[in-house]
């Protein structure tokens, strides 16, 4: 199974402020959609709660410390799991070929080393009073590709779409 993380960060690696994404970038949202549509996405419980609505055509895996009996029942596209081993077991049992880790900060911090790839959208802004940050990129992640997008009337900020490869997991 290929595991990838995907995130948008500002110039200081901020990913959130007051439980929201602190910018609006249609280009980044389109990039996220293109990568995760019809895929399995893994997120923490707080990230799940922070979404304004369910993202269509995605299979949700929610990592949580909560007792599973207290959560909504799993469906064909929503599953709650208590630990990384359970996630891997679920993925294997369901023959999942690709998993996208979409946040939040604690999930990135815990699972980044298990990712084969990291897709970062570097938003050219600095968020004042940001309160959630992406972890430092480990040295064994190497930048493989970068594409620049200049700000326009719909996207207020320049964006650099970057692809990193985990050299410990990929050749």
Span 1-27, average pLDDT: 96
Residue 129 has what DSSP assignment? Answer: T
Quick check: 70 pLDDT over 80?
no
Q: Which CATH architecture has domain 2-166?
A: 3-Layer(aba) Sandwich (3.40)
Q: pTM score, two decimals?
A: 0.94
Pairing mode of beta strands 159-166, 141-149: antiparallel
Which residue is associated with the tokens 């799940």? 48
Percent of the chain at pLDDT above 70? 99
Q: What is the pLDDT of residue 53?
A: 86
Domain boundaries along the sequence of the chain: 2-166
- Confidence category of residue 42, pLDDT binned at 50, 70, 90: very high
Q: Chain-wide mean pLDDT for the chain?
A: 94
Predicted confidence (pLDDT) per residue in 80-108, tens digit: 999 999 999 999 999 999 999 999 999 99
d(CA 94, CA 74): 14
In this structure, are residues 6 and 101 in contact, taking their beta carbons and an 8 Å threshold?
Answer: yes
Burial letters for 35-58: b for 16+ Cβ neighbours within 10 Å, e otherwise? ebeebbbbbbbbbbebeeeeeeeb
Query: Does the pLDDT of residue 69 top 80, yes or no?
Result: no
Share of the chain above pLDDT 90, in %: 85
Please say whether the beta carbons of 49 and 111 come within 8 A: no
């Amino acid at each position: 199974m290929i595991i990838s993380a995907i995130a948008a960060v500002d110039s200081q690696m901020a990913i959130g402020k007051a439980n929201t994404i602190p910018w609006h970038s249609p280009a980044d949202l389109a990039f996220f959609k293109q990568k995760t549509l019809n895929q399995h996405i893994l997120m923490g419980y707080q990230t799940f709660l922070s979404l304004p609505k369910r993202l269509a055509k995605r299979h949700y895996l929610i990592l949580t410390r909560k007792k599973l009996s207290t959560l909504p029942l799993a469906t064909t596209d929503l599953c709650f799991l208590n630990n990384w081993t359970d996630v891997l077991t679920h993925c294997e049992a369901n023959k999942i070929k690709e998993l996208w880790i979409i946040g939040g900060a604690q999930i990135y911090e815990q699972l980044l080393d298990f990712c084969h790839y990291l897709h970062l959208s570097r938003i050219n802004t600095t968020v004042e009073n940001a309160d959630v940050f992406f972890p430092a990129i480990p040295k064994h992640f190497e930048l493989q590709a970068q594409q620049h997008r200049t700000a326009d009337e719909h996207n207020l900020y320049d964006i650099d779409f970057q692809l990193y490869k985990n050299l410990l997991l990929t050749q």
